[in-house]
Structure 1
Amino acid sequence: MQAKLMDLGPHAAFIWISYAAVTFVVAGLVAWLIFDGKKQAAAIDALEKRGARRRSMSAVE
């Protein structure tokens, strides 16, 4: 059985470029979130090493 390809018509190039652009943007956002999350975690660790404490921790202790 052969797989049927979708007939995208005369706008196939626009559709494929749109899919590629969306994929690129979403991948970029995911990479940015991962990078920024690591940067923020490092900043929090540096603050905690200097003696700063989280205000939300006082309610738990």
Structure 2
Amino acid sequence: MMPELGKYAAAVLSAYGVSLGILALLIFGILRRNTRALHELEAAESQRDG
């Protein structure tokens, strides 16, 4: 399935690894920010309502 990369195998595989790592960090940051925003919204709504 994977093509023969020859002498470039290490560079290509490390580029894939770095790309996936950056993507994972972005997704983690977005989910963390979303959770924090939801908690802040709930706190603001509870102060407003009660």
TM-score category, normalised to shorter length: 0.7 to 0.9
The answer for the alignment partner of 1:32 in structure 2 is: 29
User: For each residue in 1:4-45, what CA deviation from the matched residue of structure 2 results, as whole angstroms up to 9, or x when unmatched?
Assistant: 542102111000000000000101111111111000000011
Q: TM-score, normalised by structure 2?
A: 0.86
Q: May I ask how many residue pairs the two structures share in their alignment?
A: 49
Q: TM-score, normalised by structure 1?
A: 0.72
Gaps of at least 5 residues in structure 2 are none
> In structure 2, how many angstroms separate the alpha carbons of the residues matched to 1:22 and 1:5?
18
If asked which structure has higher relative contact order (CA below 8 Å, sep 6+), I would say 2
Structure of larger gyration radius: 1
Relative to its length, the structure with more helix (as a share) is 2
Gaps of at least 5 residues in structure 1 are 53-61
Identical-residue share of aligned pairs (%): 18
Give RMSD over aligned pairs: 1.5
Deviation above 2 Å: which 4+ runs of structure 1?
Answer: none
